[in-house]
A and B are shown apart, each in its own frame.
Chain A
Amino acid sequence: MEIKTWGWLIFPVLVGIMVIFSFGRLVAGPDQIWRKLWLNEGKVKAAEVEVAKLKNKLDRLKQVDVVGQQKLLAELGKAVPNQMQPMLLIGEMNQAASESGVVIEKYSIDNGEKQQDSKISIATGNADKLIVWVNDMERWLPMARIVNISYGEGRAEVIVEQVWKEFVVSGAKPEDELPETREKVRAVIDQMAGYRELTVRATGLPTDDGAVNPNPF
């Protein structure tokens, strides 16, 4: 056999070896380069989606009226303040007492972690006045919640709580979506229109008309 006679076989053999060897590397081997290429495509798509989200968030943030948002925050804080306001609660109790004609005989306020429980003893005379007082109390800003009433023989023991909650740092990541709040905030502020604020004097202390319960302490 002469090499010249079979020399033409070198090319097919080399191509065969190259295909078999690289097939093992590209498709079937431990490296699985095709699989890596496929995964990379997935990663790129995810990165592009993230970019689109970030762009959208950035556009929305650029349109935010910060002063307007701070005003909304202050408005919402009138309903649920970010700190305890015992003087306001006392003012609310007294104002409601003046308007309903009940007499607040004594009270104690316990500042809890999330709310402020007040135990109040009231001389009401009759249930009508008590009901007016309760309705008044449940229409104040900051909001007061009547937790329990024990009424009998013209006297009532009432537990009221003023709900408050501290501002919490959100800890949001850049990729976290910005909440859409416009509709909700508007609805909540509309609901708050049915409530009233305690008149605050220039001194910063709530008014205590004094007709029924002149001294809160």
Chain B
Amino acid sequence: MINLLVRDKGLVEIGQKYKGRVMAVTVVVAIVYLLAVATSAGWWLWVTGRNAAAIKERDSLIQQLGRLAATEAVVRQVAARAEIVEAALANPKLGPTMVQAQTAAQSGGLEVVGWKDGAVTVRGTDLTALENFGQNREVKSVKKISAGMWEQEVVWK
């Protein structure tokens, strides 16, 4: 027959030996745990309060902005129109290019007689002047149109 009384007595002794430590650890865990839960609850209340306040203020601001919608529309129209005008002003202009070609032709004693698709046709009697005019540019054609008179077509962009 096994003697259980002896074993029980041993367990009780062990229980009594560790009771103090177990209780101390349990109290510490319980306090830490309760503090953590309380902190979380407090944090949650604080965050929820901030959220409610922010949403209320946002709604109020949106209402106020709604009352100024006409003002905002004008400001946006001005911004959009400024962009459009800026782009239109930046469009390349043909006039200055033509003036440049004409000035270059006249300096060599040549006459501008044609302009098509970005190519200028000049006429003159001086082949050297024609050569200088077409220097560093794409020469599309050179024609002799009569005795001592040539025409040259040069891309001018």
Count B-side interface residues using an 8 Å CB cutoff. Answer: 65
Does B127 interact with chain A (Cβ within 8 Å)?
Answer: no
Does B6 interact with chain A (Cβ within 8 Å)?
Answer: no
Question: Which A residues have a C-beta under 8 Å from some C-beta of B?
Answer: 1, 5-6, 8-9, 11-12, 15-16, 18-19, 22, 26, 33-34, 37, 40-41, 43-44, 47-48, 50-51, 54-55, 57-58, 61-62, 64, 66, 69-70, 72-73, 76-77, 79-80, 127-128, 130-131, 134-135, 137-138, 143, 145-146, 148-153, 156, 163, 165, 167-170, 172, 174, 178-179, 181, 184-185, 187-188, 191-192
Partner of B61, one of A6, A15, A55, A69: A55
- 23 interchain pairs, CB-CB under 8 A: A12-B26, A15-B30, A40-B47, A47-B54, A50-B54, A50-B58, A51-B58, A58-B68, A76-B85, A127-B102, A127-B115, A135-B96, A150-B117, A167-B77, A169-B73, A170-B73, A174-B62, A181-B79, A184-B79, A184-B83, A185-B78, A188-B82, A192-B89
Q: Say whether, besides A1-B8, A12-B23, A131-B102, A70 and B74 are in contact (CB < 8 Å).
A: yes
Q: Say whether, besides A79-B85, A188-B89, A192-B85, A178 and B75 are in contact (CB < 8 Å).
A: yes
Partner of B89, one of A9, A26, A79: A79
**Does B82 lie within 8 Å of A185, measured CB to CB?**
yes
Residues of chain A within 8 A (CB-CB) of B35 are none
Q: Say whether, besides A165-B84, A188-B89, A179 and B79 are in contact (CB < 8 Å).
A: yes
**Does A181 lie within 8 Å of B65, measured CB to CB?**
no
Q: B64-101: which have CB < 8 Å to A? A: 64-66, 68, 70-86, 88-89, 91, 93-96, 98-99
CB distance from A40 to the nearest CB of B (A): 5
